[in-house]
Structure 1
Amino acid sequence: MTSPPQRSMLWLMRYILPVKWRMAGLLALLLLTTAMQLANPQMVQHFIDTAAGGGPVSRLLGLASAYLAIAVCTQLTSVAVSYLGNDVAWRATNQLRADLLRHCLGLDMRFHNLRTPGEMMERIDGDVTHMSNFFAMFIVQMFGSAVLLAGILGLMFAQNVPIAAIMTAFTLLSLAAMVRIRDVGVAASQAERQANAALFGLIEERIAGIEDVQTSGAVPHVMNRFHRAMRHVFQTGRRAWMMRVIPWNVTVVLYAMAVTGVLMMGIHLYLTRGATLGTLYLFYQYTQMLNDPIEQLGNQLQDYQRAKSGMRRSLELLSMRSEIEEGQRTDLPEGPLGVAFEHVHFSYQPGEPVLHDIHFELRPGERLGIVGRTGSGKSSISRLLLRLYNLDSGVIRLGGVDIRELRLDTLYERVGMVTQDVQLFDGTLRDNLTLFNPGVPEAEILAVVDRLGLRPLLDRLPEGLDTRLAAGGSSLSAGEAQLVALTRVFLTKPSLVILDEPSSRLDPATEATLQTAIDHLLEHCTGIVIAHRLSTLAKVDKILVLGQGRMLEFGDRAALADDPASHFAALLRKDRLEVWA
């Protein structure tokens, strides 16, 4: 059984392997840069010693030219390293973002109900962004820094063993300290990411409800919540930064001690003629250079701590499993599908039942109207039919098959749903009607548009089907958006259509147009219509009346309407009185 660190590394390898050749190129460039960094101080040493010894000008010019050439090449390779590093980072992290988004889209509604969209954006993008430098440079720069350290120490041992020994002791102590305290800031960084997620969730939630915030005078309250969230972000961020810089502070102290020792020994050697002026410069320059890879390792450890907190949160998200277990059956009868609820019990929260012992049967091609007060459980029935939640007990059958045995894509192919809140995407009208499926023929789209009454909208749009719609449907009226949703469902040729209060926000004239479209839509499939307005249910075959999650009655519409003692008849009488009033 693998340990958590091993699982993390195995998980990371999934994203590193596809970019392994780019990382190999990145490593080669870093090694070339390292070689040039080691060569430049040697050039300066020879230049100083040649000038101090009265050497020929031609040699000085040659050394200066070589130094400039190496400096230019070093700068060019640094640019190439930066470019390739960012390329590697984005390729790896974009794949991770896609995997996280795909995984979240497959999780059940209980998961999404507990998290705001702002928080999920931070989990999918923010956490991964903090891992990008890890993917791009951590492994390569760790190796490059190790090679640079080894090269500097090797060259120093060739020049002077005591000074090299001091530098080696500084290096080993710095590395040991960083390894010892490498995880000191991980927990704090994780708390920082969570605070940011909470802040983004607050902002998203309040912006989504901007109308209610403004009209209810809640702006001061929102700002108070915002300032408190920002204070928490600042406090957690400050603590995380302080914990992350501990390794860097340790190396600064050790470096100051090492530089002091090397300079004192170097000056002593120069004064006693044990070293030339150029060699003294070489000692100083290599000591300076020695700090760069160690400081870089310290910075990488800070990135590592941020990345590790992101890894933990990403792994935590990927480890979550949907409570909806997908079946394997793909076979359903052709044509309209029958629906049967067999003693169904359901609750969103344990101990708080929403539906109690719901049982009814709808034959293929029939239309069912569901009525009841707000909170009676009407919409819960539609959500259960689409397996957005699991039942507490009981069975739901579609075409005689328990829906738990079906693959989800099979279920969604045969069941269409239209709600009062239509989701329109940033794309053309064609894209929104076909859900970005380019395989739907234009003639078929236009035929459905004409049949469902969407032609006036099409004629009004400047580019017809290729007119771009604003995200959220702000460029359409509520009625037009509902017609788009009906047309979208019609094009999928469903066997069961669920209409969840599609006309609740429409005026009577628009509702009449929509009702005509609904009649066309339900001609060749089974239909379930959830409605507050009883006029929407004029052509259904069966009626189900719900009250506080229980079946008050179920039967033929005509029979219930003619029975003065029925709940449905009472609702009809009340509806007529409200209309006349």
Structure 2
Amino acid sequence: MTKTNKIFDLKLFKRLFKFIKPYQKVFLGVLLAVILLALFGAARPYILQQAIDNNIATKTFEGFLPYILIMGGLLLGEVVCQLLFIFYSGWLGQTVVKDIRVKLFDHMIRFKMKYFDNSSVGVLITRAVTDMERIADVFGEGLFMIFRDLLTMLVVSAVMLFMNWELSLIVFLMLPVLLYATRVFQKYMKKAFEEVRTEISNLNSFVQERLVGMKILQLFTREDTEYKRFKAINERHKKAWLKTVWYNSIFFPIAELSSSITIGLVSWYGGLNIVLSETATLGDLTAFIMMIPMLFRPLRQIADKFNTLQMGMVAANRVFKVLDTTSQIDDNGTTEVNQLRGHIQFNQVRFSYVEGEEVLKGISFKVKPGETVAIVGATGAGKSTIINLLNRFYEIDSGVITIDHLNVKDVTLSSLRQQIAVVLQDVFLFADTIFSNITLNHPEITEAEVVQAAKDIGIHEFIMSLPNNYHYNVKERGAMLSSGQRQLISFLRAYVTNPSILVLDEATSSVDSYSEQLIQNATDKITKGRTSIVIAHRLATVIKADKIIVMDDGKIVEEGSHYELLKKKNGYYKNLYEVQFLKKETA
């Protein structure tokens, strides 16, 4: 990957520059505007010098009007070019960033779950939002601005030499000092900006996690503790920014002092020449005093814009690191499935989230088409992992998983997941309407179909009791609904997709008795006639299952129907039933 210890990473810039290719005409147009700005800017002092020497100094009015008209034309040209330059450089930056952001988002939503297990959501948000704005500045305020300033300096230097080489020499003698200061400034600012970006990511990540987990913080009265931690993180962020402020406070006074000293020397030497030797004219002196800021100010601006460019390059480096991350599930399957019978088989499947720490230790089982299988076991036994592997959220270490005798690796990911609907215990709802959360904006699912599906599973009345009914906005994470209501919405979301296989991951836990009855009715409806796997929690679900798989420590220890397992003396399921389920039944 790109090295970040360089003042300017050309390889990284070339990669970023590739995104400009679709907009080459706009890019060339902006460059033309930059060139014209440099020429118009340098021409003004020369026209002024001619007007002073030919008319003002000699007090001659004849021929003065053309200089005024030319100066007015140059100013008008500058205004037009400046307008086009500012608008289209900004347009180009935002358009390029739009393309990169879309590519980044498309890349991230295809990451396998293991990537998100090990990555901070706050950092990823920073990459997709804040870092993108810094990349936009590369074009809007960095690259073109630097090119304009360099071109202006080059043209102004040429005009100076053409007008008076002696005065030009005085000016050029001060440039090495400022160039050296600029290079040192850029070097330290690069390191400072890398630190700033790191601290911004840390800050975003911390704030995002605490806001999402606010209920936990307040339940355990950790407000003061987290406040202190935030103060420490914010202090580091402030110190990182203060480094950039400190470097600016040193560099810009030096640059301003250099410009003032140069103007003073030119005025002194040029004035002596005018009076004593007449090797310089009043027009030369006036033009040089006008051009010195045009030469030195761009150099100061280059340093400032180089900061912007470096921040953008640091941001681009971070974004490209995410784009270069290969963390997708291999979607090499060639078989498209439109409908499945639902025959599922795990054959000696081994899996570990962390290498060397197996969660599933060679499990094997079969689920017949239309069969409802409940999986029970203690927390951490590997129940939910089976669901993750069936959907190919993770790759197995060894063994084979088949559906309808097809290896899941031979089936395309999209068609596989379209045939499997999952209802999770922790339901996630987007800040949108109930209808949008049910259909997830699927264009082929109509509101009439959703209403009918809600009636089928008995939750239409619940939705109609809400303000705006199916168009009720549930706010972020479904905060306007109870846990039981969110669970009902997730059941309807699964049902409208008409899946071949249904998975309920402890979907009936932690709800009130009324919601539980609705959920149980919905469960009976949507599991009827289709293969269903239930991570069991409620007694009724276990009893009704065609088969129960009992897991412990990543292994299947028992298998059979509810009544078959209860007959096993000192059986694992019997003990679990007596300790857990029987208590619930008699409570």
Pairwise same-fold verdict (TM > 0.5): yes
Aligned residue for 1:480? Answer: 485
Aligned residue for 2:158? Answer: 154
Tell me, in whole angstroms, the C-alpha distance in 2 between the residues paired with 1:521 and 1:378: 21
Tell me, in whole angstroms, the C-alpha distance in 1 between the residues paired with 2:528 and 2:341: 10
Amino acid across the alignment from 1:477: S
Percentage identity across paired residues of the two chains = 25
Aligned residue for 1:377? Answer: 382
Deviation at 1:233, TM superposition (A): 1.6
Alpha-carbon distance change, 193 to 576 in structure 1, aligned in 2, over 3 angstroms: same
* CA displacement, residues 206-241 of structure 1 (integer Å, 9 cap, x when unaligned): 111111212212112111211111122223333355
With structure 1 as the length reference, what TM-score do the two structures score? 0.91
Q: Which of 50, 53, 58 matches 1:53? A: 58
Structure 2 counterparts to residues 526-545 of structure 1, below 5 A: 526-545=531-550
3-state SS of 1:472 partner: helix
Aligned residue for 1:399? Answer: 404
* CA displacement, residues 103-148 of structure 1 (integer Å, 9 cap, x when unaligned): 2222222221222221211122222222222133444333322332
Aligned residue for 1:134? Answer: 138
Residue 215 (1) aligns with residue 219 (2): yes
Residue 15 (1) aligns with residue 19 (2): yes
* CA displacement, residues 20-57 of structure 1 (integer Å, 9 cap, x when unaligned): 2222222222233323322333444455453443333x
Tell me, in whole angstroms, the C-alpha distance in 2 between the residues paired with 1:243 and 1:347: 49
Deviation at 1:177, TM superposition (A): 6.7
With structure 2 as the length reference, what TM-score do the two structures score? 0.90
Amino acid across the alignment from 1:141: M
Residue 441 (1) aligns with residue 446 (2): yes
Contact 1:504–1:531 (CA under 8 A) maintained in structure 2? no
Contact 1:244–1:302 (CA under 8 A) maintained in structure 2? no
* CA displacement, residues 420-454 of structure 1 (integer Å, 9 cap, x when unaligned): 22222233332222111222233322221211223
Tell me, in whole angstroms, the C-alpha distance in 2 between the residues paired with 1:247 and 1:11: 31
Amino acid across the alignment from 1:483: L
Tell me, in whole angstroms, the C-alpha distance in 2 between the residues paired with 1:100 and 1:286: 45
Tell me, in whole angstroms, the C-alpha distance in 1 between the residues paired with 2:328 and 2:132: 26
Tell me, in whole angstroms, the C-alpha distance in 1 between the residues paired with 2:458 and 2:15: 52
Structure 2 counterparts to residues 82-121 of structure 1, below 5 A: 82-121=86-125
Residue 577 (1) aligns with residue 583 (2): yes
Deviation at 1:347, TM superposition (A): 2.2
Q: Which of 460, 472, 497 matches 2:502? A: 497
Residue 424 (1) aligns with residue 422 (2): no
Contact 1:372–1:532 (CA under 8 A) maintained in structure 2? no
Tell me, in whole angstroms, the C-alpha distance in 1 between the residues paired with 2:3 and 2:207: 38
Tell me, in whole angstroms, the C-alpha distance in 1 between the residues paired with 2:477 and 2:293: 58
* CA displacement, residues 435-491 of structure 1 (integer Å, 9 cap, x when unaligned): 112222333222212112231133224444344432311232322222221222222
Tell me, in whole angstroms, the C-alpha distance in 2 between the residues paired with 1:368 and 1:228: 51
Amino acid across the alignment from 1:347: S
Residue 357 (1) aligns with residue 362 (2): yes
Amino acid across the alignment from 2:393: L
Tell me, in whole angstroms, the C-alpha distance in 2 between the residues paired with 1:526 and 1:14: 49
Tell me, in whole angstroms, the C-alpha distance in 2 between the residues paired with 1:569 and 1:154: 94
Unaligned runs of 5+ in 2: none
How many pairs align?
Answer: 580
Q: Which of 450, 453, 461 matches 2:458? A: 453
Contact 2:340–2:419 (CA under 8 A) maintained in structure 1? no
Structure 2 counterparts to residues 97-496 of structure 1, below 5 A: 97-168=101-172, 170-171=174-175, 178=182, 182-240=186-244, 255=259, 258-272=262-276, 273-322=278-327, 324-332=329-337, 334-496=339-501
Contact 2:466–2:472 (CA under 8 A) maintained in structure 1? yes
Amino acid across the alignment from 1:133: D
Tell me, in whole angstroms, the C-alpha distance in 2 between the residues paired with 1:348 and 1:248: 53
Aligned residue for 2:529? Answer: 524
Amino acid across the alignment from 2:296: N
3-state SS of 1:544 partner: strand
Alpha-carbon distance change, 578 to 452 in structure 1, aligned in 2, over 3 angstroms: closer
Tell me, in whole angstroms, the C-alpha distance in 2 between the residues paired with 1:110 and 1:186: 33
Deviation at 1:295, TM superposition (A): 2.0
3-state SS of 1:202 partner: helix
Amino acid across the alignment from 1:396: I
Deviation at 1:504, TM superposition (A): 0.8
3-state SS of 1:396 partner: strand
* CA displacement, residues 366-399 of structure 1 (integer Å, 9 cap, x when unaligned): 1111112222222121112122222232222222
Contact 1:332–1:401 (CA under 8 A) maintained in structure 2? no
Tell me, in whole angstroms, the C-alpha distance in 1 between the residues paired with 2:247 and 2:409: 49
Tell me, in whole angstroms, the C-alpha distance in 1 between the residues paired with 2:436 and 2:408: 30
Tell me, in whole angstroms, the C-alpha distance in 2 between the residues paired with 1:238 and 1:552: 61
Tell me, in whole angstroms, the C-alpha distance in 2 between the residues paired with 1:325 and 1:142: 44
3-state SS of 1:53 partner: coil
3-state SS of 2:288 partner: helix
Deviation at 1:100, TM superposition (A): 1.8
Contact 1:332–1:399 (CA under 8 A) maintained in structure 2? no
Amino acid across the alignment from 1:566: G
3-state SS of 1:39 partner: helix
Contact 1:270–1:276 (CA under 8 A) maintained in structure 2? yes
